[in-house]
Chain A
Amino acid sequence: DGGITQSPKYLFRKEGQNVTLSCEQNLNHDAMYWYRQDPGQGLRLIYYSQIVNDFQKGDIAEGYSVSREKKESFPLTVTSAQKNPTAFYLCASSISGQSINTQYFGPGTRLTVL
């Protein structure tokens, strides 16, 4: 089955620890995205990548880092510098970054920092 997987579904971490969220797609899409959702807010873009070995900051990149070493994988690291990391994180991909391309979303990871 083609799709996007994110793991784990739920993640708990202690304050001050870095944590890496996984995102894998087998759709052969060039572009991948990380969004964050908080109650009462729209999806906000953290980082995006339009091609392997390249990525750009989104609107709320501070305290996060990413890598894009393989086309199918776009892991997100939430560092201890992120002041309020508890949130729901969604990964998405699209054929390319063009305006008409639909984004396909994973099931999300809910991160809770204790």
Chain B
Amino acid sequence: ILNVEQSPQSLHVQEGDSTNFTCSFPSSNFYALHWYRWETAKSPEALFVMTLNGDEKKKGRISATLNTKEGYSYLYIKGSQPEDSATYLCAFYNTDKLIFGTGTRLQVFP
């Protein structure tokens, strides 16, 4: 059974703090790693799709890195804002479907 793990499970930070969290996935047969943001009462939205070892992607204050050889990806948020509060999901592409982690729930306090 393939396992995708995210840590921490939840995170509370003050506005302006920078933060990061981890997604661990199987290091063999890698195709792609997806990151999604899921705000309360909304649908999950795609942040990044990462495919190459050493990939770095950036979208505003959010960036992600990928290490396929050791099986992890980091998501960074610089200068967190209350609107960044959401659950961040990573998903590992296996054969023909995504396997999702349980997510990291981020709350940013003003």
Contact = CB atoms under 8 A, between A and B. Distances in A.
Given A102-B34, A106-B43, A41 B96 contact: no
Given A105-B44, A107-B43, A40 B102 contact: yes
Given A99-B93, A103-B98, A42 B46 contact: no
Nearest to B96: A97
B102 A41 contact: yes
Interface residues of B, number: 22
A114 B27 CA distance: 43
A10 to B, nearest CB: 13
Interface residues of A, number: 25
Interface string A87-106: 00010000001011111111
B51 A90 contact: no
A48 interface: yes
A56 B97 CA distance: 10
B43 A105 contact: yes
Contact of A45 (B46, B49, B98): B98
